[in-house]
């Protein structure tokens, strides 16, 4: 299995631009998580899907962030408009189901100038 796949691996954009991060979970996994990691705040859960349905999005910072999971093999995290404080590494992780260990993707390093 290829593991969790994320793209792009690096993204540099200017403030105000739209950014879309993509994730393909491990085949057969029912749960998908989006995290943000910074030196200041550590690893923060943004949103969690189970069977393609958003279960908890209380970690999404504000309305500029949105996430979708149109099918079991694809999810996106969109930031519009982006701001410098959004600069972070964004991880996608999947697990077999609720309560199982998570497998993380390689992350997308986002820099907003």
Cβ closest to another protein, residue 37 vs residue 87: 37
Q: Is 110 in contact with 92 (CB distance < 8 Å)?
A: no
Contact call for residue 105 and another protein (CB under 8 A): yes
Do 21 and 11 form a contact (C-beta atoms < 8 A)?
yes
- Contacts with another protein: how many residues (CB under 8 A)? 18
25 binds another protein (CB under 8 A): no
99 binds another protein (CB under 8 A): yes
Please, are residues 34 and 75 in contact by the beta-carbon 8 Å criterion?
Answer: yes
Choose between 4 and 19: whose C-beta lies nearer to another protein: 4
73 burial via Cβ count (<10 Å: 0-12, 13-18, 19+)? middle
For residues 37 and 91, the answer to whether their CB atoms sit within 8 Å is: yes
42 binds another protein (CB under 8 A): yes
Q: Which residues here bind another protein, judged by CB under 8 A?
A: 31, 42-45, 48, 55-56, 91, 98-99, 101-107
């Amino acid at each position: 299995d290829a593991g969790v796949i994320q793209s792009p691996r690096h993204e540099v954009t200017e403030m105000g631009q739209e950014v879309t991060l993509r994730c393909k979970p491990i085949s057969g996994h029912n749960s998908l998580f989006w995290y943000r990691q910074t030196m200041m705040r550590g690893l923060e859960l943004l949103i969690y899907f189970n069977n393609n349905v958003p279960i908890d999005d209380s970690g999404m910072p504000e309305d500029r962030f949105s996430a979708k999971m149109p099918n079991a093999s694809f999810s996106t995290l969109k930031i519009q408009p982006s701001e410098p404080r959004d600069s972070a590494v964004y991880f996608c992780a999947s697990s077999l189901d609720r309560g199982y260990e998570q497998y993380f993707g390689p992350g997308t390093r986002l820099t907003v100038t």
